[in-house]
Amino acid sequence: MITRYTFGNPVETYAVPQKPEACGKLLPFFERSEDGLTYSMKLNKDEIVYGLGEQIRGINKRGWTYTSFCADNPHHEEGTHSLYGAHNFLVFDREKPFGVFFDHPGEMTFDIGYSDLDTIKITARYPDTDIYIIDGETPYGIVRAFRKLIGQSYIPPLFGFGFQQSRWGYRCKEDVDRVLEAYSAYGLPLDSVCLDIDYMEDYKDFTVNSGRFPDFEDYVASLKKENIHLIPIIDAGVKIEEGYDVYEEGRENGYFCKKQDGSDFVAGVWPGRTHFPDFLNPDVRKWFGEKYYRLTEAGIEGFWNDMNEPAMFYSDEGLEKAKQQIQAVFSKEIDIEGFFALGGLMNSISNSPADYASFYHEFDGIRARHDTVHNLFGYNMTKAAAEAFAAKYPDRRLLLYSRASYIGAHRYGGIWTGDNMSWWSHLLLNIKMMPSLNMCGFLYSGADLGGFGADTSGDLLLRWLQFGIFTPLMRDHSAIGTLLQEPYRFGNIDAFRRTLQLRYRLMGYIYSEFMKAALEDECLFRPLAFDYPEDTFAKRVEDQLMFGESLMLAPVYEQNARGRYVYLPEDMLFVKFISLEEAENERFVEYLEDGTPYIAKPMPAGHHYIDVALDETHLFVRPGKLLPLLRPANTTAELDFTAPEVIAYPHGQKELAYRYYTDDGVTKDYTEASHFKNIVFTVK
C-alpha cells in the first residue's frame, strides 16, 4: 500500500505520474519537527537501510550523511556527500519493512545513523514536500511497488546495449577512424563511439565542426553501414555568441533562466560564458528538444546530456567577487593566510550556493528560485530531448543518457555515473551503486569503465570490463590528459577480446532480463538479501549481486587478486570462461558450440574461495536456472538471437524453463506476446 502525505505547497515535480490523493493523516514512523524541516526516526540495531540511488558508500546506507543536491563532483570519495543525482527513496528492512520517498526538489540531507548511531535524521530545505510511505511484506516487494508508482523505466534501442568507446579527446573524424580501425584490426566488438565536446564548433550545442568532421551526414551514414553509431554529447549551457541561432532565439523568446533583475543569468562552462535554458518550462523544453532534430536528421540515434546539474565553473558575479578578494590579498605583502586563501578563492566560486540562489525558473504559473528546484534541472533537460524524440519518432527508440537526474528522469533516459577515477575503489563503488540505482528506476546505467580521471592500468581496465559486461550501459570513457584507455592499449588482446565477446554472447540474457525488469518493475541488479530475505549472511554481503533471474555475480575488484571469497546462499553452478591455453591444463573443461572453453563446477551453499585468473570471467548460475548464450558478433546488429545455446544447472530438476525476450530492438511495441518465448531444457 502507498500513502501520500503532503505538507505545505509542494512544487509539481512529475516524479510520480499519477499521484494518489493525499491522505490528510499524520505521517507515521517519523517525528516531524515543528518547522517542518526535519524528520527523525529511531533505527533498530542492525536494521539495513537501502536506497538513495546514485550515492557513494555501500548498499546499506547506514553510517553516513548523504546530500541530495545534484553536484558536478569528480570526487567520488568516502568524504563526499553528493553526486550528480538526487534520488530520495529509502527502504527500511525491519520487522514491518517500509519505504519512503521524499518528493522534494530542493536540497535534502539524510543523516543515517551518522551523528547518532541509532537515529535517522532527514532534513529538507523547505517544509513543502510530498512524502510517500510504501508498505509491503519485504524490502524487494516495497521497491517493486515504488517502481510501479514512479512509472516504467526508459528502454534504449538494442544498440545501446552494445559496447561504447569514448574519450574526451577524440577531436576529429581521423581520431574516430583510428579507433574504429584498431577495433576492427584486433577483432574487438563495438557498437558506438561517443563524441565529446570537441565535435562541436566552439562547444556550441547542436553544431558540428565541419573542419574536423567534414560531410558529417555522409560520415554518420557510412558508419551506420558498418553498424557503428556516433553518440554526441549535448551540454546544458548555451554559448553566448552573437549570430549563434540557439543563443539568439533563446534570448529573444526569454527562454533562459533569469536573475532577480530580469536579465539572463550568465555562467561560465566549457564554451565560456553561457545561458541556461529554463528546462522546467514546457515551451523551453519543446524549443530545446527540437534542436536535437538537427542531429537526428543527420542520422544520429543517440545522445548523452552533460553538465546539467547545472555545472558552472563561475558566474559573472562570482568571478568579480573573487577578483576583488584576490586584489585585496595582493594589495599588501602576502602572508601565509593570504597565500592559502588564494587557492581557495578560485575553487569556491564553482557551483557556488550563492549562484544557485541567484536565478529563477518560470513554469506552471510560478516563479521558483533555482536552488529551491535545483534537482529538477538535469531531469528536465533529459525530458526535453525525450519529449522531442517521442513527438517526431513516436515508434522509434533513441539512445539517451544524462549525468544529472532526479527520480522521474528514469522514464526518459538512462544515466552514467559521472567523473569517477581509474581507481580500484571506484570499481567497487560501481558494483555497490548498481542495485541502488535500479531501486530508484535507473535501469539503463553504468560507470565510465576503466575510470574517467587519472591513469588506468591494463589489469584495472580488464577487471572493470569483466564487471562492465553486465551493466546495461557499457562504456569505456576517459578524460583528456590521462593515459589512452582503449582495450587494445594494454597487450593481452586475447583476454580483452574474450571479455568483450562475452558481453555479446550474454546479450540474449541481458536484453531479456532488462526488458522484464523494465516492463515488470523488477531490479536487474539486486542485493542478495532481496532474493534470500531469510538468510542473515546474505544480508551482510555488499560485494556480490544478483543479476536477473538466473545469475549471481561476485566480481574480482582488487589489484593482483587471483580469486576471492564468495558466499553462496544456496547451491550454485560456478561458471568460468577460460582461455584455450588454460583449457589444455584443465581436467573438466566444457565447450560452447563454437569451441569456447569454460569450466562449470557445482558448488554447495556456504563460503568458498574461488580462483579467477586475470584473464578469466566468471559467474554463478542459480539452481534450476538457465543461461542462454549467443554466438558473439562484432555488433549487436549482427547477433543471432534465434537459437541460443544454454548453460543449465538442473540441480535435480528434469525440466528447466527460461522466459526469453526478443524484439526488433528499435520499435516500441514491447508488450507483443510474440516477444516472449519459453526456452525449455530437458535433462536426458
Considering the complex, state which of residue 197 and residue 500 has its C-beta at the smaller distance from ligand GLC: 197
Question: Please, what is the minimum distance in Å from the beta carbon of residue 461 to ligand GLC?
Answer: 17
Residue (59 or 437) nearer to ligand GLC, CB? 437
Q: How far is the CB of 586 from ligand GLC (least distance, A)?
A: 41
CB-wise, 483 or 589, nearer to ligand GLC?
483
Query: Measured from the CB atom, is 417 or 596 closer to ligand GLC?
Result: 417
Beta carbon nearer to ligand GLC, 200 or 510: 200
- Residue (403 or 516) nearer to ligand GLC, CB: 403
Shortest Cβ contact with ligand GLC: which residue? 168
d(CA 276, CA 351): 14
Q: Where are the beta strands (DSSP E) in 469-582?
A: 475-476, 525-526, 545-547, 551-553, 563-568, 572-577
Interaction between residue 505 and ligand GLC (CB under 6 A):
no
Residue 403 contacts ligand GLC per CB under 6 A: yes
- Give the residue with the Cβ less far from ligand GLC, 201 or 459: 201
Show the site string, 219-258: x = touches ligand GLC by CB under 6 A, - = not. --------------x-------------------------
Please select the residue that binds ligand GLC; options are 103, 205, 301, 306, rule is CB under 6 A: 306
Overall residue count recorded for the chain in this entry: 684
Q: How far is CA 570 from CA 542, 622, 651, in A?
A: 17, 8, 11
The dihedral sign for the CA sequence 129, 133, 139, 144 = negative
Residue 54 engages ligand GLC in binding (rule: CB under 6 A):
no
171 binds ligand GLC (CB under 6 A): no
The contact pattern for ligand GLC, residues 353-392, with x = CB under 6 A and - = no contact, is ----------------------------------------
Closest approach, Cβ 366 to ligand GLC, in A, equals: 31
**Which of 145/483 has CB closer to ligand GLC?**
483
Q: Restricting to residues 125-154, name those near ligand GLC by CB under 6 A.
A: none
Closest CA to 289 of 395, 382, 403: 382
The distance of closest approach from Cβ of residue 289 to ligand GLC in the complex, given in angstroms and rounded to an integer, is 21
Minimum distance from residue 447 beta carbon to ligand GLC (Å)? 11
- Determine, following the binding rule CB under 6 A, whether residue 197 of this chain makes contact with ligand GLC: yes
Residue 650 phi, psi (nearest 5) = -60, -40
Site string for ligand GLC, 3-42 (x = CB under 6 A): ----------------------------------------
Map grid coordinates 593570504 to a residue: 338
Q: Which residues pair with 51 in a beta bridge?
A: 90
- For residues 520 to 559, the per-residue mask of contacts with ligand GLC, x marking binding by CB under 6 A and - elsewhere, is ----------------------------------------
In angstroms, what is the minimal distance from the CB of 286 to ligand GLC?
Answer: 26
Considering beta carbons, is residue 197 or 266 the nearer one to ligand GLC? 197
How many residues lie near ligand GLC (CB under 6 A)?
9
494: Cβ contacts below 8 Å, ≥ 6 apart: 579, 615
Q: Which of 54, 93, 107, 196 binds ligand GLC (CB under 6 A)?
A: 196
CB of 371 to ligand GLC, least distance (A): 22
Do the beta carbons of residue 161 and residue 524 sit within 8 Å? no
All 3 cell numbers of residue 25?
493523516
The residue from 51, 418, 508, 527 that contacts ligand GLC (CB under 6 A) is: 418
- The DSSP secondary-structure symbol of 99 reads E
CB of 400 to ligand GLC, least distance (A): 15
168 binds ligand GLC (CB under 6 A): yes
- Closest separation between CB of residue 402 and ligand GLC, Å? 11
d(CA 208, CA 217): 10
| Angle between helical axes of 173-186 and 493-505 (0-180°, round to 10) | 90
User: Which residue, 101, 41, 61, 45, is CA-closest to 527?
Assistant: 61
d(CA 86, CA 107): 9
Task: Between 311 and 510, name the residue whose CB sits nearer to ligand GLC.
Answer: 311
Per the CB < 8 A criterion, the answer to whether 437 and 415 are in contact is: yes
Closest distance between ligand GLC and the C-beta of residue 583, in Å? 39
DSSP secondary structure string, 21-84?
A: PB--SPPSSSEEPTTS-EEEEEPPTT-EEEE-SS-SS-SS-TTEEEEES-------STT----S
351: left (phi over 0), alpha (psi -120 to 50) or beta: left
Q: Which is nearer to ligand GLC, 142 or 447 (CB)?
A: 447
Q: Rounded to whole angstroms, how far apart are CA atoms 40 and 110? A: 10
Q: Minimum CB separation from ligand GLC for residue 59, in Å?
A: 24
- Beta strand pairing call for 229-235 and 192-195: parallel
Cα(272)–Cα(269) distance, integer angstroms: 5
We find the least distance from the C-beta atom of residue 450 to ligand GLC, in angstroms, to be 13
Cβ distance to ligand GLC smaller for residue 295 or 523? 295
**Which lies closer to ligand GLC via its Cβ, residue 473 or residue 573?**
473
Smallest separation (angstroms) from ligand GLC to the CB of 419 = 5
Count how many Cα atoms sit within 13 Å of the Cα of residue 250 in the half-sphere of its side chain. 34
Q: Which residues contact 417 (CB under 8 A, 6 or more apart)?
A: 54, 76, 83, 84, 430, 433, 437, 445, 446, 447, 448
Site string for ligand GLC, 555-594 (x = CB under 6 A): ----------------------------------------
In 475-571 the beta strands, taken as DSSP E runs, fall at 475-476, 525-526, 545-547, 551-553, 563-568
Q: Which is nearer to ligand GLC, 191 or 448 (CB)?
A: 448
- Grid cell for residue 630: 549467443
The interface with ligand GLC within residues 464-483 (CB under 6 A) comprises: 477
Least separation in angstroms between residue 126's CB and ligand GLC is 29
C-beta closer to ligand GLC: residue 301 or 309: 309
Give whole-number Cα distances, 235 to 36, 199, 222, in Å. 36, 12, 26
Burial label, 335 (beta-carbon count in 10 A; 0-12, 13-18, 19+): exposed
Q: Shortest approach of ligand GLC to residue 453 CB, angstroms? A: 9
* Measured distance CA(180)–CA(177) in Å, rounded: 5
Q: Is 419 in the site for ligand GLC (CB under 6 A)?
A: yes
Residues in contact with 544: Cβ distance below 8 Å, sequence separation at least 6, in sequence order: 528, 552, 553, 554, 566, 567
Record the cell numbers describing residue 154, joined without a space: 526508459
Q: Which residues bind ligand GLC (CB under 6 A)?
A: 168, 196-197, 233, 306, 403, 418-419, 477
